[in-house]
Structure 1
Amino acid sequence: MTEKAPTGLLTEKPPTDARREQKEKTPTELLVAEIPYLRAFAISLSGSIHAADDLVQDTLVKAWSKFDTFAPGTNLRAWLITILRNNFYSIYRKRRSEVQDVDGMYAEQLSTRGGQESGLEMHEFRHALEQLSEEHREVLLMVGVMGFSYEEAAEVCDVALGTVKSRVNRARARLAEILGLASVDDIGPDPVNSGILNKPAKYF
C-alpha cells in the first residue's frame, strides 16, 4: 500500500504556534515527539506492548521514508496515526492473538498519574477499555486522548462523520456501563479518563 498524506480536514493548517513549531524542529524531533501518542494508540489496537513497539517502529520508518510527502504545517499526528492504523489493519491484525498486557503498562501509555488519587483506578479503566470493540476503542482514544476533532477522526477512519459520533456515543455509554458509573463526575480528576468519558457528541 502506498502511503500518502491525508486530504481534507487533516491537511488544513493548524494554529500558528503549531506551524511555527514544525518549522523550528527537524523531522527527527517532530517524529520523536509523537512517539508516546503513537505507542498509546498502537497498544489500544494490538493489545500487546511488544506488538505495539514493532508497529510504532514500522510507522516511524515509513513516515521517515515518506516524509517528503507530508505537507509542512498540516496535522502531523493525524498523518502518522493514519499510517499506523493502515499498517495494523493490513498486516498486524492478522498476527494478533489474545490481548496481552502482562507487564501492566497499558495505562501508563495513556497518561502519567499525579499524586492525587482518582475516583476510578487506572487498572479498572484499562480493563474496561479492553472490553470495547476495536472500532469503538480507537475513536475514543482519538477524540478523548489525542485531541482529534470528530471530523478528523472520521477522516482517519475513512467513515462518515455521523458514524464516528455514533461510535463515540455508544462506546462512552458502554464504558460507563462496564464501570458502573452513573455520571462522568464519578471518574475523579484524572484528565485522560475525563477526556474519554466526556459528554456525548451532538449530531446537529
Structure 2
Amino acid sequence: MTQEPDLREALLAAVPGLRAFAISLAGQVDRADDLVQDTLLRALSNLHRFERGTNLNAWLFTILRNLFHSEYRKRRREVEDPDGVFAGRLKVHPEQGSHLDFEDFRSALFELPSDQREALLLVGASGFSYEEAASICGCAVGTIKSRVNRARIRLAAMLNVEDVDDLGPDTMTRAALQG
C-alpha cells in the first residue's frame, strides 16, 4: 500500500461517500461508521482482487452493500433483548456435569455384581419386562425383580442419590439457573 500513494488517496477520498451510503442503509451513524470501517478493512485485505483501471468507488460501494446485506440476514435471526428479559427466561443445564454424572454412573454400574447389572440393563435400559428378562436369564421372575431392586439400591448408594431431586443438576447449579 505504501508503494501506491494514489490508491491510498483514492481510498481516503471515498470515505465520505461510503459513510453517507452506509448511513442511508443502516439508519444509524454508529452502525454506518462500523460498516465503513469493515468495508475498508475488507478492501485492504482483498486489494489484490481489485482490477486496476476499473472504478474503485463502485468496488468499495459493492463491498459495503454486501457487508450490510450479510449482516442484515444474520441480524434478522437474532432476537432484540436490550433489557435481558428474554435471555433471563432461557435456561440450559451445563453439559459438563451430565458427562461427569454419566461417567460416574458407568463406573458404578460396572461395580455391581454381574447378575444384578445384567438384570438392571435388561429391564431398565433395554426395556424388557420382568418376565422377558427372567426368560432371557433362565431364572424366576421374582429373582429378576429382586436383582433389579438390589441393583437400583446399590447404585443409588454408590452415586449418593437419596431422592429424585438428586438427579440432574446439583443444588448450586439449580440455584444459579433460577437466579
TM-score band w.r.t. shorter chain: 0.3 to 0.5
Query: Which of the pair is proportionally richer in helix?
Result: 2
TM-score (norm 2): 0.39
Higher relative contact order structure (alpha carbons within 8 Å, sequence separation ≥ 6): 1
Structure number, greater radius of gyration: 2
